């Protein structure tokens, strides 16, 4: 098993009405020339958690950190004006906390961070990570 140092939270940079999941992200990532969905988990607008890459496989979600991280992406993150926005549903917030709680049990040393914490040029995940209390 890989050594997991980070659990990285992302947003899909999609509008609130776009309920996308692993299938759509897999297609987008393949269009970019990747092997497929780069995230390990995707949280749909209704809170359903879909599995992307297995945790044993290296992700493709944050340059320089893929080999030692798990990537979680939620549908949303873009406001009606096209700017970054925390538009997670309550179901997504609950699912994210539940998923993080499970992952922290399995990877207690892993630090939970936002994509922007590892790449300051990114606004993703479009919310204050301090609000997670994990």
Q: Active site residue: 5, 93, 111, 122, which one? A: 122
Q: Active site residue: 10, 29, 78, 116, which one? A: 10
Cβ pair 62, 1 in contact under 8 A = no
User: Is 124 known to be catalytic?
Assistant: yes
User: Is 122 known to be catalytic?
Assistant: yes
User: Is 29 known to be catalytic?
Assistant: no
Give φ, ψ of 43 to 5 degrees.
-110, 115
Q: Active site residue: 11, 73, 124, 126, which one? A: 124
From first CA to last CA, the distance across the chain in angstroms is 23
User: Is 115 known to be catalytic?
Assistant: yes
Q: Active site residue: 29, 40, 78, 115, which one? A: 115
What are the angstrom distances between the C-alpha of 70 and each of 9, 15, 81, 87, 113? 9, 24, 30, 22, 10
Q: Active site residue: 39, 41, 74, 107, which one? A: 39
User: Is 39 known to be catalytic?
Assistant: yes
Residues marked as catalytic: 10, 39, 115, 122, 124
């Amino acid at each position: 098993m890989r050594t997991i140092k980070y659990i990285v939270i992302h947003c899909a940079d999609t509008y609130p009405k776009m309920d996308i999941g692993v299938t759509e992200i897999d297609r987008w990532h393949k269009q970019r020339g990747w092997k497929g969905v780069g995230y390990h988990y995707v949280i749909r607008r209704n809170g359903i958690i879909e599995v992307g890459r297995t945790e044993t496989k290296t992700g493709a979600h944050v340059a320089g950190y893929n080999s030692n991280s798990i990537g979680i992406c939620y549908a949303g993150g873009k406001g009606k004006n096209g700017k970054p926005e925390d538009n997670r549903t309550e179901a997504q917030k609950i699912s994210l906390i539940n998923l993080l709680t499970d992952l922290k049990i399995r990877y207690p040393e892993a630090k939970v961070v936002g994509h922007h914490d590892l790449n300051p040029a990114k606004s993703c995940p479009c919310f204050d990570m301090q609000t997670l209390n994990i």
